[in-house]
Structure 1
């Protein structure tokens, strides 16, 4: 048991230190995803240690574990209700409440009906699908009567993306920031009560042993989106499967360079992947918003057969209260701006070598 305790301690130390090494290879980036699980396992190991207590060096190991626990907890507590963030309610000059669903549907998930029923149940004004291919597009046609405005990017490489809206889309664009097979959506909308806003849908590739060996394309794509956001003078929401966690360096850099707010701070993790394994679930479907957008509800919905849980958000727009949220915006330093620019260039140079058509193994 003592060997097991020591092995766990060493493993947890390695998983804690690896993300500190600023290298883009997946070996260094993937441990960031598991910070919640790592913290829980550290707490378990501390408890296990007290049941053993069979070495004079016991307290050294326990102190090391405790320091690691404090280190991780100091980050994670920001993404819980324990972290104080003021909430705001709608005023008479605010927009009507708006709702959207964002879902990585998993390209090979054939249970289209469950997702369609989910949309019909919650009736959001907008919904975004990722990994949606030609089969998904055909299945979603049944919703086009209720969602007459759409922007479709039909791909078979697991990076297809479809955006449907009840609200009029005034103009929309498809961006290929770092690769010609990794799209993003930029949709400009205007509500019936006269509020304009911009919805970005993103889905960059993950660093992993089975997909991209590094995070270069992911980070370059996200930071390109951040750069684009700063050029827009309307309320902005950026939503999607970021294949990243909110506390990673590149996510924080995205938040700082885009001047957007992370609504998870002071709220909850909103973990989405993997849908089937609760204990191995990471919050990688993220969203960020400008200071004139106020989030009233952000949560996951029921599994509909995908490997991701869908994200549901309820928000309103208020230009007169936006100053109250400006204090939540962090701004990038000149050094961070230069780093973001460099990461964008590295992302463009990276060759992802993805197949145009991906089949399920």
Structure 2
């Protein structure tokens, strides 16, 4: 038991230190995703230490190290729980009607189209965004196009296709390719029946992983390019999608500071989405950020429909009168952080993702 305790302590220390090293290789970035699980394992190992037999003289040093790691991770994670104090707001007379959206990575090779359609019919969102949606998914979703007459489709077979559907009038929509010509983002300008305009931005950058991109350069460059574009838009805005990133990573925080957007997970919950089949190994990588005029009423995951991601459901309203009350939740990038963001954007553009135009399962 003592050997197991030592091995776990060293492993957890490595997993804690690796993300602190500012290198874009996936080896350094992937441990960021498992911070919740790492924290649980640290607590388990700390308890295991007291049960271990034959405790040597340096036992309390290793226990102290585990305690420091536990405190370090907990301080970061507690912001994404209801324990972190955040002011709540109620809908007023001057606010928009409540609006709902669903964001879902459908998994390109998932053939259970009807389960997703049933989910849309059940929750009846005003808008919804699909990622990894290809030609087959586009064809399957034609059955509900009458309910969603406004559409913007980017049909790809490389697992980066995106489709946007709306009941709300879309005044204009465009596709951005910020760092690569096969990684799209959707920008849609909408206007509600009660006269409120807002922008819906859908993103899905590639992840750093041993099976996909070797580094996080394209992901970070794409997200920070989106952040720059957001700063040019003078309307209420929501950015959602499969970020292939976690809210507490350096690049996510830099995205939030550069865009001047708010992370609604802070003071609420993790809203973990991936992997849909393994609850204990689930990470919050389908993120959302919003401007100060947007007020979140509800945000949660919905039931699995066959994808490897759980869909995200959000209910919100727009209020231009109350918006100043959320200014305190906006962080601003320093001069050094702005320069770092520009450098990461250029690195993302220079990186060659070397992806196949058509990806098949297996």
Equivalent position of 1:214 in the other structure:
215
Equivalent position of 1:245 in the other structure:
246
Offset of 1:143 from its aligned partner? 0.8
Equivalent position of 2:343 in the other structure:
342
Please give the per-residue CA displacement for 1:218-264, whole angstroms capped at 9, x wherever unaligned: 00000000000000000000000000000000000000000000000
Equivalent position of 1:41 in the other structure:
41
Runs of 5+ unmatched residues, structure 2: none
Mapping 1:127-166, distance limit 5 Å: 127-166=128-167
CA distance in 2, matches of 1:79, 1:134: 37
Equivalent position of 2:21 in the other structure:
21
Please give the per-residue CA displacement for 1:11-30, whole angstroms capped at 9, x wherever unaligned: 00000000000000000000
CA distance in 2, matches of 1:42, 1:117: 41
CA distance in 2, matches of 1:204, 1:112: 23
Equivalent position of 1:309 in the other structure:
310
Q: RMSD over aligned Cα, in angstroms?
A: 0.4
TM-score, structure 2 normalization: 0.99
Offset of 1:52 from its aligned partner? 1.0
Offset of 1:355 from its aligned partner? 0.1
Mapping 1:88-103, distance limit 5 Å: 88-103=89-104
CA distance in 2, matches of 1:155, 1:250: 26
Local SS of the residue matching 2:232: coil
Runs of 5+ unmatched residues, structure 1: none
Please give the per-residue CA displacement for 1:20-60, whole angstroms capped at 9, x wherever unaligned: 00000000000000000000000000010111152221111
Offset of 1:283 from its aligned partner? 0.2
Offset of 1:122 from its aligned partner? 0.2
CA distance in 2, matches of 1:282, 1:52: 31
CA distance in 2, matches of 1:334, 1:60: 40
Equivalent position of 2:68 in the other structure:
67
Matched, 1:299 2:292: no
CA distance in 2, matches of 1:297, 1:174: 28
4+ long deviations beyond 4 Å: none
Equivalent position of 2:12 in the other structure:
12
Mapping 1:139-288, distance limit 5 Å: 139-288=140-289
